[in-house]
A and B are shown apart, each in its own frame.
Chain A
Amino acid sequence: MSDREAEFLEYVSAHRGRMLRTARLLASGDDHWAEDLVQVALTKLYVHWAKVRRDEGAERYAHRILVNAFLDERKRMWRHREATTERLYDASPPTGADPADRLTVLAVLAKLPRRQHAVVVLRFFRDFDVRTTAELMGCTEGTVKSQTSRALATMRDLLHEPLETMESLR
């Protein structure tokens, strides 16, 4: 194994779990789709590893690819799945929170337009600021702000409760 591959695996070991959690929210709880998104992002990360490490950092790049793969896939007329390996992915549901609450939140996310959906995940789950979110999504900061505002309004309506977002501090 080359140094490059060892470095890549070190990165994957440290970040794969967190990427999968982000992808689960983007995929509205579809664990197979989430795994696909992560695999797409990591594959592209491997291909461009040297350049990415040198220029912008692996984590930023991986998030950009993850979000772009999500945005891209939802607008395709058909969905392209990653090739499977000999090992089938075990999509057993995550444990922890109240399943009913979890499903409600995921259902609400699924109802958001895709860019609003991505903005919510990047800003309120990954805690990226407006500028970083805009860079990751390839849009302006103004677009991120307006998408955030619309998304929160929709979520409040659908969840039937006010949301504490610490928006004033962002």
Chain B
Amino acid sequence: MTDLKSLLDDAAGQEPALTDADLTGDLDRGRRAVRRRRITGIGAGAAATAAVIGVGWALLPGLSAANTQPQVATTTTPTPQPTTDHPPGRPTGPLPPKPAVPVELVARTTQFPGRLTCDLVPKGWTTKLLLRGDDEQVELSDPNLSNPEQYREYTYQIRLRWATMRDEGHGLIPDKYSEPWSELPHVMAGTKEAVSTGKSAYDGRTEVFVRQEKTGPRVIVVTDGAVNLGWDEKTLLKFAGSCSHK
């Protein structure tokens, strides 16, 4: 009989000697993280203040000489920024052709291969199971797109993944973010609450985190970089909101 505890204890190796450099590094990283959080907070606060001032300016009569017509007050929600660092350099390679008319979103007629499923799908697109289990991932792509490998990765497919928000003691946090769900700007994906990264300036992808229960940690993450869909965010949210886990 082998004692598992001993096996693991041996495999973990000996406790390394702690150096001043370790301590300094840990402290520096902590200080930098606090600074980043403060800067992000100031940035978000400034954007919100600007939006409030903008609305006030538009609504107060007589403040602007040119303001003779009713003005539509618009506010913008600051796009949440994922915390993931990207490797340097943008992705390269050709993009698939953009359709003249966006691909239609239609009711699903065939079963998805795993437990993730969507009631609405891009017309004519097919599904493929990439990963089974707790982290199930499904890919949707156009079977009629010839030789898709020639195109830049992630520019001709939509991916769904089943994910769990992490609990760090101050609220549930979607992966790629450092702020809790309750503090992120929300959008609606169908009838479900969601968080959208907006279109990435880096690779053009949009990620939408759709919460599956009001208080639970589970989300479906929809990643869309498909140029050949020609979708806007409204269509993507409609699609994402139709997805669920069986």
* Interface pair A105/B175, CB less than 8 Å apart: no
Chain B positions 14 through 51: 1 when the CB is less than 8 Å from some CB of chain A, otherwise 0: 11101001110111111111100100000000000000
* Interface pair A93/B13, CB less than 8 Å apart: yes
Instruction: Output the nearest chain B residue to A115 by Cβ-Cβ distance.
Output: B134
* Interface pair A46/B10, CB less than 8 Å apart: no
B33 to chain A, nearest CB (A): 5
* Interface pair A163/B2, CB less than 8 Å apart: yes
Known: A80-B84, A113-B133, A115-B134. A125 touches B12 (CB 8 A): yes
* Interface pair A44/B33, CB less than 8 Å apart: yes
* Interface pair A13/B168, CB less than 8 Å apart: no
A8 CB–B CB distance under 8 Å? yes
B120 to chain A, nearest CB (A): 24
Instruction: Give bound CA distance, A80 to B29, whole Å.
Output: 15
Known: A12-B23, A61-B169, A94-B14. A159 touches B8 (CB 8 A): no
Instruction: Output the nearest chain B residue to A23 by Cβ-Cβ distance.
Output: B12
Instruction: Output the nearest chain B residue to A107 by Cβ-Cβ distance.
Output: B11
Chain A positions 39 through 52: 1 when the CB is less than 8 Å from some CB of chain B, otherwise 0: 10011111110011
B164 CB–A CB distance under 8 Å? yes
* Interface pair A8/B27, CB less than 8 Å apart: yes
Instruction: Output the nearest chain A residue to B17 by Cβ-Cβ distance.
Output: A17
B1 CB–A CB distance under 8 Å? yes
Instruction: Give bound CA distance, A121 to B11, whole Å.
Output: 11
Known: A8-B27, A125-B9, A163-B1. A68 touches B85 (CB 8 A): no
Taking CB atoms and an 8 Å cut-off, the chain A residues in 1-40 that contact chain B are: 5, 8-9, 12-13, 16-18, 20-22, 24-25, 29, 39
A168 CB–B CB distance under 8 Å? no
* Interface pair A102/B4, CB less than 8 Å apart: no
Chain A positions 59 through 103: 1 when the CB is less than 8 Å from some CB of chain B, otherwise 0: 001001100100110111110111101010000011111100110
Taking CB atoms and an 8 Å cut-off, the chain A residues in 96-131 that contact chain B are: 96-98, 101-102, 105-106, 109, 113-115, 120-121, 124-125, 127
B30 to chain A, nearest CB (A): 3
* Interface pair B4/A124, CB less than 8 Å apart: yes
Contacting residues, chain A, for B104 (C-beta < 8 A):
none
Instruction: Output the nearest chain B residue to A109 by Cβ-Cβ distance.
Output: B11
25 residue pairs bridging A and B, Cβ less than 8 Å apart: A12-B26, A17-B16, A17-B18, A22-B12, A29-B11, A43-B33, A46-B29, A47-B30, A47-B37, A61-B168, A64-B168, A74-B135, A80-B83, A80-B84, A87-B25, A94-B13, A106-B11, A113-B133, A124-B5, A125-B5, A138-B164, A138-B166, A138-B217, A163-B1, A164-B4
Extra contacts besides A61-B169, A121-B8 (10): CB < 8 Å: A8-B27, A48-B170, A76-B175, A97-B11, A105-B11, A114-B134, A124-B5, A125-B9, A125-B12, A152-B4
